[in-house]
Amino acid sequence: MDKPADWTTGHEAIRYQLCGACHQPQYFRRGFCAACGSTELTEKRASGKGTVYATSVVMRAATPETRAHVPYNIVLVDTQEGFRMMAHGATDLKIGDVVTARYATFTGRLVPFFEKAI
């Protein structure tokens, strides 16, 4: 499969796949729908809007590169499009907060960074 032009490859975008057969969205990219097996997938770009599902602020990182960023907040966000994703977020985010994505640099890579929607 071609690499997607999204944050995992350094582009300012969150992408997902939508199944043409069962209409299930999926975030982890594959050549088929993990819910029904269909290969009728459409590539979509997510709005970057969602709701915080869970948070954990990392205070002890394991590598010199990540340690330079401590503290950083790992968040799980339920996107408006119906899939869940892991990202970074503002350290004051609470579960249930409505958020929007911007992008930040972490260990030299682009990562999605969620903040409270205004």
Partner 1 sequence: MTYITGVGLTSYGKHEGLTSLDLMSKAAELAISDAGLKRGEIDGILCGYSTVSPHIMLATVFAEHFGIRPSYAHAVQVGGATGLAMTMLAHHLVDAGVVKHVLVVGGENRLTGQSRDASIVALAQVGHPDYEVPLGPTIPAYYGLVASRYMHEYGVTEEDLAEFAVLMRTHALTHPGAQFHEPITVADVMASKPVASPLKLLDCCPVSDGGAAFVISREPTNAARVKIRGCAQAHTHQHVTAAPALSELGAEIAIAKAKEISGVAISDVRYAAVYDSFTITLAMLLEDLGLAKRGEAAARVRAGYFSRDGAMPLNTHGGLLSYGHCGVGGAMAHLVETHLQMTDRAGNRQVRDASVALLHGDGGVLSSHVSMFLERA
Cα–Cα distance for residue pair 104/53, rounded to 1 Å: 20
Q: Which of residues 38-77 bind partner 1 (CB under 8 A)?
A: 53-63, 66, 69, 72, 74-76
CB-CB neighbours of 97 under 10 Å:
19
Residue 1 sits in the site that holds partner 1 (CB under 8 A): no
Report in angstroms how near the CB of residue 29 gets to partner 1 at its nearest.
Answer: 8
Cα–Cα distance for residue pair 89/102, rounded to 1 Å: 9
Token representation of residue 85: 């994703």
Identify the residue among 18, 33, 41, 85 touching partner 1 (CB under 8 A).
Answer: 85
Residue (108 or 118) nearer to partner 1, CB:
108
The residue whose two tokens read 């982890």 is 28
Cα–Cα distance for residue pair 34/41, rounded to 1 Å: 11
Q: Which of residues 99-118 bind partner 1 (CB under 8 A)?
A: 106-107, 109, 111
Could you list the residues that contact partner 1 (CB under 8 A)? 8, 27-29, 53-63, 66, 69, 72, 74-76, 84-88, 95-96, 106-107, 109, 111
